[in-house]
A = this chain, B = another copy of it.
Amino acid sequence: MTMKALGIHLLIELWSCNRQKIDEMNYLERIMTEAAEAAGATVLKTAFQDFNPQGVSGVVVIAESHLTIHTWPEYGYAAIDIFTCGTKVSPWKAAAYLQKELEAGDIHVREFQRGFPLTVEVNRPHPEFVTHDACSTAHSQ
């Protein structure tokens, strides 16, 4: 399907991570925030939760969409996704930062475009809107 891309969404599998690091909620909250900043994003909110006996889930809401992480320390595995809209932010920079920080031995990334079909008629706020960064109009403060 041909879509007008409003953003890029990465599904990232990190394997053979440092098992101690991916079980530390405060550390993960810090590096997820730093990853967002490495991507050039503006951090708005975070929500993290650790689990018993192990594992952490966390999300970072950014002006350009989000980053999430879910970890399985018992497997050395972290599932991450990074969704960024606009052209000024690079989700790949965030992915590289996290791979390095978590000492992941292996990484697999799937990249997808998010948006709407080109056949959808766009209700433009003003005539020159198509030349603007859609994200910066809708999703930045």
* A interface, CB within 8 angstroms of B: 1, 3, 6-7, 9, 11, 13, 15-16, 44-49, 51-55, 57-59, 61, 63, 65-66, 68, 70, 72-77, 79, 81, 83, 85, 106, 108, 110, 112, 114-117, 120, 122-125, 134, 137-141
B47 and A59 contacting across the interface, CB-CB below 8 Å? yes
Residue of B nearest to A19 (CB): B123
- Picked from B54, B75, B110, B115, the residue with its CB within 8 Å of the CB of A77 is B115
B70 and A65 contacting across the interface, CB-CB below 8 Å? yes
| A141 cross-chain contacts in B, Cβ below 8 A | 51-52
| A110 cross-chain contacts in B, Cβ below 8 A | 112
| A140 cross-chain contacts in B, Cβ below 8 A | 51
Residue of B nearest to A1 (CB): B108
The 7 tightest CB contacts between A and B, nearest first, are: A55-B138, A45-B47, A59-B59, A47-B47, A77-B116, A79-B114, A44-B49
| A79 cross-chain contacts in B, Cβ below 8 A | 6-7, 9, 65, 83, 114-115
A70 and B66 contacting across the interface, CB-CB below 8 Å? yes
With most chain B CB atoms within 10 A of its CB, the pick from A7, A52, A79, A141 is A79
Asked if A138 meets B51 with Cβ closer than 8 Å, knowing A11-B112, A57-B66, A68-B68, the reply is yes
List 8 A–B pairs whose Cβ atoms lie within 8 Å, in order of A's numbering: A7-B79, A57-B65, A68-B83, A74-B138, A75-B116, A75-B120, A75-B122, A75-B134
